[in-house]
Amino acid sequence: MEETECCVRPDYNRRPGRSACRGDGASVHATGGQAVIIGPNATRTADTVAGFRTKRIHDPAGPGDGRRVLVDRLWPRGLKKADAAIDEWLHEVAPSAELRRWFGHDPARWEEFVRRYHAELDARPETAQPLIEAARRQTVTLCFGARDRERNNAVALKSWLEGRR
């Protein structure tokens, strides 16, 4: 699909074959009922917009977060529950205490942690069902307390969830 010029009319992206600016360098192009976002980073269809994101619980909530769900087994240190800005805490979807302790956020154990955590999730997929159902309606932000933004249970959970959609 070729990128088209943006327009300033707010309803422009609702008509097939039309595009509109999103304000972040990307444009939205409507094609027969399905919007496609074209931008500097990626091209994706509108049905992938509502899905899963990950975010550190200590980061401020944003308008694009959708439903914010804490997916850690333990409450994050130094954070008051009143300040958490979460919609739900699903500690049962978190890795087992034994797996969490074994991993210990050691980067050398990351791949094995993901494999074992996915096996735990495969054994009890009903714990993640609320997340899957919520992601069909809106964006779900999987919040975590770990300092490592690339290797944590929310990232591993997101990869498992996206494989099940």
Same domain, 70 and 143: yes
Same domain, 16 and 58: no
**Residue of 3 and 106 predicted with greater confidence:** 106
Q: How many domains does the chain fold into?
A: 2
Residue 25 pLDDT: 44
Same domain, 60 and 137: yes
What is the residue range of 38's domain?
Answer: 12-46
Q: What is the pLDDT of residues 122-155, one digit of tens each?
A: 999 999 999 999 999 999 999 999 999 999 999 9
Indicate yes or no: pTM above 0.75: no
Dist. CA 136–CA 115, nearest whole Å: 25
- Residue 6 domain flag: no
Same domain, 34 and 58: no
